[in-house]
Structure 1
């Protein structure tokens, strides 16, 4: 059975991988009522109960994060591309799983992109490693202790998810896991996601920097792009 995590723990871990100035909130999907904002509910009409609970908990966390910024809670519907449609003036990221849901929200005047990913700290299925990890990443994994490789592969997966979310609000680009290559600093619990090919105005070789934390059975990764960094990322 999937473990359900204390929302305050999830909130604190997520805050630890993000810079100051963002509002973070978390929810336990098991505790969320089924009702939510009508503009949001249409996206999951007919979904199975577990999916409904995760979706509603993630949206509830997003609205709570808005309140944390001193703003009224507003709906976050899903767009045709399945990405959240943030209220005017805001941007953010939502991550949900069976055990926890978290959202980070910031004002668009300060933040161009925010990416958060939340995973249970279990190893990545070895059958997925070749799909998720580049050849260089697989070589790096081979240099790590054998007992840690699957968990580190999960870190690569999660970090790429966070980086993808952060860039998507800037470029709207869709791409696969092989587009990014991770350089991980285990001493500092930080990583760099390097673009191997140009995407949506971001030149090849550009870097998104992020942080990660393992604690209490969870893995959380975070990537942000400030508005002051946007032009540099786009090679302008």
Structure 2
């Protein structure tokens, strides 16, 4: 499963990006001592997700030709990458994924390819966003919008330092992925600025990626 997931992930990003995927339950690598404090008081499931995410990140760094390194968490729980490295980590549906490169920021997300309940739709989508989605299987499309926004939020954070709500960008799904439009000025991103992202559905997963 992970090799197929990594192949799919690689297609989300430009050349020069290294990716890795790891089944969380299969991870045996503990966090680096510099990372462990971030989840010292977390429940075991969260500790396992964190450890697998860092293990996937180190695998991606290795694929990029970078030496293994600690990836501690910042004040907003964001990964703190080695100098010159941009990256993103996500976990969902029992899988941890990571993408890294030398260059501009990245955002990655993974979700189960399953519908979200209607009571969650207004938390994620504006009425206009919801109305633009197909009526049939709308909950599944809302999940895709959710994943797209998660990837965008991770990509923009190193640039703006802003923690965004779901109303900060609007997402329009396309055949190749999605277009995210900033709803208001956010750091160096002016209202109306558009970010293109990729989205794939594979093996019961939604995989999304953004490269700024």
TM-fit CA distance, 1:97? 2.1
Determine which of 155, 166, 169 is the counterpart of 1:180: 169
TM-fit CA distance, 1:126? 1.3
Structure 2 unmatched ranges of 5 or more: none
SS at match of 2:105: strand
Q: 1:134-171, CA deviations, whole angstroms, 9 ceiling, x for partnerless residues?
A: 12111112xx142x211100000000000111111111
TM-fit CA distance, 1:28? 1.1
Determine which of 149, 153, 160 is the counterpart of 1:160: 149
SS at match of 2:170: strand
Equivalent residue number for residue 3 of structure 1: none
Equivalent residue number for residue 191 of structure 1: 178
What are the equivalent positions in structure 2 for 1:76-225 lying under 5 Å apart? 76-107=71-102, 111-141=103-133, 144-146=134-136, 148-186=137-175, 189-225=176-212
What are the equivalent positions in structure 2 for 1:18-33 lying under 5 Å apart? 18-33=13-28
Note if contact 2:93-2:111 (Cα within 8 Å) is conserved in structure 1: no
Structure 1 unmatched ranges of 5 or more: 1-5, 226-236
TM-score by length of 2: 0.96
TM-fit CA distance, 1:9? 2.2
SS at match of 1:33: coil
TM-fit CA distance, 1:94? 0.1
Would you say how many aligned residue pairs link Structure 1 and Structure 2? 212
Note if contact 1:54-1:98 (Cα within 8 Å) is conserved in structure 2: no
Note if contact 1:34-1:53 (Cα within 8 Å) is conserved in structure 2: no
TM-score by length of 1: 0.87
Q: Which range is displaced more, 53-62 or 89-98? A: 89-98
Aligned mates of 1:171, 1:30 — CA distance in 2: 34
RMSD (Å), alpha carbons: 1.2
Aligned mates of 1:20, 1:122 — CA distance in 2: 30
SS at match of 1:20: coil
Aligned mates of 2:195, 2:105 — CA distance in 1: 10
Aligned mates of 2:37, 2:4 — CA distance in 1: 30
Aligned mates of 2:60, 2:124 — CA distance in 1: 31
